[in-house]
Amino acid sequence: MLFPDYRPRRLRRTEALRRMIRETILTTNDLILPLFTVSGKNIKNPIASMPGHYQLSVDNLVKLAEKVQEIGIPAIMLFGVPEKKDPLATRAYARDGIVQKAVKALKDRLPELVIITDVCLCQYTDHGHCGFVDGHTIDNDASLDLLAKTALSHAQAGADMVAPSDMMDGRVAEIREALDENDFSHIPIMSYAAKYCSAFYGPFRQAAHSAPQFGDRRTYQMDPANALEAIREVTMDVEEGADIIMIKPALPYLDVIARIRQEIDLPMAAYNVSGEYAMIKAADKMGWLDGQKAMMESLIAIKRAGADMILTYFAIEAAEILQS
C-alpha cells in the first residue's frame, strides 16, 4: 500500500470517520480508583505530591466511594495508613485494623462497589519493607504467613478481592490456600505479578508512609531492565492461582504489558502509579502541557498496549470526561 494509492489521511478527515476506525475504546468500566484511609473522624489530609488526593478517615472515605459508585467506576483499591507500626506488621491483619474497619463500613453502605484491598506489609512494618525482616535481609518464607493472614483478614472484613503487592515468591499460593481453607474460595486474587522496583512510587510512599527505613526494594521488586523475567513472574502467579494479573508501573512498561497480553489469557490490570500521576499534574500546573489531554492519552495508551483494567488516580477525572 503505497502513496498515492493509499492515503491514511482519507480516514482521518472528520471526527465521525475517526470514530469509525478507532481501535481502542476506554470506558469507565476499565477504571479502578486507589484510595488511602487513616483512622480518626472527618480527616482529609491532602497528599502534597498527589494533588486532588487525600488520606481519608473512614467517614470521608465512604462519602467519596459513594461518588465513585455514582459515576460508574466499578472498583476501588484500598490502602491503609495505620497509627502504629511494628516488626511483625500486626496492624496489617488485626481484626480492628484500619483496612478491616474501612472495608466493613464500605460494604455496609455500598454493597455493589467492588472493594479490592492491597495486601502488603510495608505500611505496617517499622522498617518499611514489604516482608518479615531478619537483620537486614527480607525473609521470603517467613513473610508468607503474615501476608496470608492479612489477605484472610481482609476477606473476613468483607473485601471482594485481595491484591498482594509485596513481591515475595510463593505468596499467591499461600494466600489462595488460606482463603480456600476458610470458606473464601469465591474471593479472587489480583496479583501484582510483574511489579518493578520503580522511582515512580515516590509520591505513594509519602501518601502511605511506607518508604523503607534502610536499603531499597531491589531484592524483591523486579529490575526495570527485565522483560523475559516478567513472563516467568506472571506465569508463576497464574500457576499459583491468580485470577487477575497486574503489571506495575504502566507507562514506562507498555512493552511488558503488550508482551504479557500475548502470553497470558487471564484478565490483566496495569497500575498507572503515583509518579505517573504526579508528573502530569506537575507539568499541567506549570502550564507545560495540557493535563487532561495527557491523562486521556496515557490511559488510552495503557489500554491499547493490552490492559483490560487500569488502576489510576485519574479515575474520577477520566470518568467525568468519558461521560461528558
Catalytic residues: 195, 248
Q: Which residue has the cell 500546573?
A: 285
User: Which listed range, 96-104, 105-113, 134-142, 203-211, lies at the site for ligand PBG (CB under 6 A)?
Assistant: 203-211
Our finding on whether 150 is near ligand PBG (CB under 6 A) is: no
Per-residue x/- marks for ligand PBG, 257-296, CB under 6 A?
----------------xx----------------------
Helix (H) or strand (E) segment spanning residue 191: strand 190-195
Angstrom distance (rounded) from CA 174 to CA 159: 18
Segment interacting with ligand PBG (CB under 6 A) among 21-29, 80-88, 197-205, 233-241? 197-205
Determine if 122 is a binding residue for ligand PBG (CB under 6 A): yes
Q: Does 120 bind ligand PBG (CB under 6 A)?
A: yes
138 binds ligand PBG (CB under 6 A): no
H-helix or E-strand spanning residue 154: helix 140-157
Residue type, 268: M
Nearest residue to ligand PBG by CB is 204
Please state the closest distance from residue 221 (CB atom) to ligand PBG, in A.
6
| 201 lies in the site for ligand PBG, by CB under 6 A | yes
109 binds ligand PBG (CB under 6 A): no
Contact residues for 148 (Cβ-Cβ < 8 A; gap 6+): 171, 174, 175, 177, 178
For residue 85, which phi and psi values (nearest 5 degrees)? -120, 150
Q: Which residue has the cell 505496617?
A: 124
C-alpha cell at 241: 492461582
Q: Single out the segment in contact with ligand PBG by CB under 6 A; choices: 41-49, 87-95, 118-126, 135-143.
A: 118-126
Under rule CB under 6 A, residue 205 binds ligand PBG: yes
* Angle value at C-alpha 302, between 296 and 308, nearest 5 degrees: 110
| Amino acid present at 51 | P
The residue among 167 and 231 lying less far from ligand PBG, judged by its C-beta, is 167
Q: What are phi and psi of 22, to 5 degrees?
A: -65, 130
Using CB under 6 A as the criterion, which residues of the chain lie in contact with ligand PBG when the complex forms? 118, 120, 122, 130, 165, 201, 204-205, 210, 273-274
